[in-house]
Amino acid sequence: MPQQIWLDDRLVDSDQAKISVYDHGLLYGDGVFEGIRVYSGRIFEHDAHLKRLFESARAIRLLIPMDFEKLKHCVETTVSANNITDGYIRLIVTRGKGALGLNPFTCEKPAVIIIADKIQLYPEEMYENGMKIISAVTVRNHPLAIPPQVKSLNYLNNILAKIEAIDNGVPEAVMYNHEGYVAEATGDNVFIVRSGIIFTPPVSAGSLEGITRKVVIAIAKKHGIEVLEKNLTRMDLYIADEFFLTGTAAEVIGVVEIDGRQIGNGKPGAVTQLLRKKFFELAHGKSA
Ligand code: PMP
């Protein structure tokens, strides 16, 4: 049976899942989305993801054409129709089909698209040995331009930094804000450990309010590790004892080198390893 995609109000075969070339999601990147994981048959942090989607939509004056509970049900229906017990959900709400021209109010009705599929993670070897990354030259969007808290379909800012990473032969890049402080990585939040304390930039430094970030902070605190939100400089990253990234796709992954500087002893550190293990246990329904 072909992949079943939720489109607006029903499931359709993937080859029938089509949207208009006049959709402003395509024409202007006008829309919002979420990436959500399914672990051991459960949708991880489902409510938190939907809440963020509704908030992103509200921020850009996009009215999602169904309520929270109905959308939740549509996501669950799509996951079960595709027999996904461990996988990834891409939930997208575009502005919909409208006239050429920026005016979003020419669009009749937002399109709701839900894809539930497998996910390609970083290779296991990278979780064991850590990843090498770089600092991007591309500055994170100014919060007064496109608020980084809005998870919109307009990802060019991050894509430009991702291209820098790929050009340098690494999978990720740290993005700094217009003041030079660490904002986030292209698709992940940034954490460092120094003298046993975890530091992460405040969301106001220019990051998405990551759901994995929130979960990992809670796990750390539960295990008696202090977590402080603080503006971080490039120097802070260079001299960190440990460095890791969090995100729905990446989960918790250690960084062992940035801009040619080795972090710690060049292996994912003890705090990183503990958090990765506890995150896995929590995600799979075992107590963290
Ligand atoms: N920052 C950006 C720019 C992201 O796209 C994401 C999600 N991939 C994250 C951070 C991590 O957020 P979450 O843990 O909610 O996936």
Residues linked to residue 7 through DSSP beta bridges, in sequence order = 10, 113
Condensed to tens digits (0 to 9), the pLDDT of residues 116-173 reads: 999 877 999 999 999 999 999 999 999 999 999 999 999 999 999 999 999 999 999 9
d(CA 41, CA 76): 10
Average pLDDT rounded to a whole number, residues 103-115: 97
Report the largest interatomic distance among the alpha carbons of the chain, rounded to a whole angstrom: 57
pLDDT > 80? residue 177: yes
CATH class of the structural domain 124-283: alpha beta
Q: How confident is the model at residue 39 (pLDDT cuts 50, 70, 90)?
A: very high
Nearest atom of ligand 1 to the alpha carbon of 151: 5
d(CA 237, CA 176): 12
The whole-model pTM stands at 0.97
Asked if residue 248 has its Cβ within 6 Å of ligand 1, the reply is yes
Asked if residue 212 has its Cβ within 6 Å of ligand 1, the reply is yes
Query: Any catalytic annotation for residue 151?
Result: yes
The residue ranges of every structural domain in the chain are 4-117, 124-283
φ and ψ at residue 94, rounded to 5 degrees: -95, 165
4-117: CATH number = 3.30.470.10
The alpha carbon of 187 and the centre of ligand 1 are apart by a number of angstroms equal to 5
